[in-house]
Amino acid sequence: MGVSRAILVAAGLGAALASCGSKLPPEEPGTPIAAAALPHPKAGLWKWSSHAGGVKQLCLSGQLLAALAERPGCAISRQVHTAAGAYVVEAKCQASPVSRTWAKTAGDYNRAFTLDVVIDDTRGDITDHADYRYLGPCAPGQHPDDQP
């Protein structure tokens, strides 16, 4: 009976530890793609609504969204186009408080799309969902601000 109890305790501890840690969603199947195949939103004025950052207007340049781009110290480990039409980009980072990043985007990049982001950070994980809606051209003289 002592051995069975030890096994149950070990199994319970393992399950508890497995539920801790990363908030990265389970891996979604998809077709690997090159960075050039990732979507670029239409250049212009967009309404950005974020759970973490509120609502504001952004003048986007039409460049790749920062959450999907490779960053110094963070190598892309997975970049796919899913059967549902979404794009998922994962990166592993070194020598940084950030260990991994995950981003998923879907929609019509000329009218409206969503962006979900998860960042594994030793100072506290970050998750966010943002909706983008195209409003029209940027105001004359308005400079693109691709970072919310």
pLDDT at residue 103 is higher than 50: yes
Burial of 98 per CB tally in 10 Å (0-12, 13-18, 19+): buried
Query: And the tokens for 138?
Result: 């940027």
Interval 44-96: pLDDT, tens: 999 999 999 999 999 999 999 999 999 899 999 999 999 999 999 999 999 78
Q: What is the pLDDT of residue 96?
A: 82
The secondary structure of 74-130, three-state, reads: EEEEEEEECCCCCEEEEEEECCCCEEEEEEEEEEECCCEEEEEEEEEECCCCEEEEE
Residue partners of 86: CB distance under 8 A and separation at least 6: 28, 30, 104, 105, 106
Query: And the tokens for 104?
Result: 């998923």
CA angle (106, 109, 113) in 5-degree steps: 40
Burial of 32 per CB tally in 10 Å (0-12, 13-18, 19+): exposed
pTM of the model: 0.80
Interval 3-51: pLDDT, tens: 333 222 233 323 333 334 557 788 889 999 999 999 999 999 999 999 9
